[in-house]
């Protein structure tokens, strides 16, 4: 999933324009988004890709004891 499908942009735009009324006004866009996500969730290739990425991160955590989010942050330099 290199670039977001248009359905994501449509949903985001609708929500930004609607504010608190997005629950009512963006039902159609929300349904389209759910359908798109369901397609990805049911795709065996996507599942395997996510599984491999998870296992890689778990292996790195077990080796270093540092969560992935903290590993990606820059370490402060000495002053």
CA distance 65 to 67: 7
Q: What is the DSSP letter of 78?
A: P
Question: At residue 19, does pLDDT exceed 80?
Answer: yes
CA distance readout (Å), 41 to 37, 38, 46, 49: 6, 5, 7, 11
**Of 19 and 76, the one with more pLDDT:** 19
Q: What digits encode the pLDDT tens for the residues 26-74?
A: 999 999 999 998 988 899 999 999 999 999 999 998 998 888 777 766 5
Question: At residue 1, does pLDDT exceed 70?
Answer: no
Q: Where are the beta strands (DSSP E) in 1-79?
A: none
């Amino acid at each position: 999933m290199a670039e977001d499908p248009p359905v994501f942009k449509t949903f985001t735009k609708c929500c930004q324009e609607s504010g608190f009324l997005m629950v009512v006004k963006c039902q159609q866009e929300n349904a389209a988004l759910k359908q798109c996500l369901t397609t990805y969730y049911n795709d065996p290739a996507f599942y395997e890709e996510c599984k491999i990425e998870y296992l890689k991160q778990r292996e790195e955590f077990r080796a270093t004891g540092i969560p992935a989010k903290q590993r990606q942050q820059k370490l402060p330099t000495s002053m």
